[in-house]
Amino acid sequence: MPHYDYLCNGCKKTFSSVLTMSEHDTSKPACPHCGSHDVEQQWSTFSAVTSKKSA
């Protein structure tokens, strides 16, 4: 099962959540730190590494 990294807009902390594809499509996870659903998905690791290599 894939896991997704999120940044919480409420407390500015990151967390990862394991979701099924259908869960990911239909809902956002709650932040485990503050309980907010105002979260953004991060595509962090892969794109960060790619941009560092090209810079």
Residues in touch with Zn ion (CB under 5 A) = 8, 10-11, 31, 33-34, 36
Using the minimum distance from each CB to Zn ion, give the nearer residue, 33 or 49: 33
Using the minimum distance from each CB to Zn ion, give the nearer residue, 36 or 50: 36
Closest separation between CB of residue 14 and Zn ion, Å?
9
Using the minimum distance from each CB to Zn ion, give the nearer residue, 13 or 50: 13
Torsion sign (Cα): 42, 43, 48, 49: positive
The angle subtended at Cα 46 by Cα 40 and Cα 20, nearest 5°, is 55
Residue 3 CA to residue 9 CA, distance in Å, equals 19
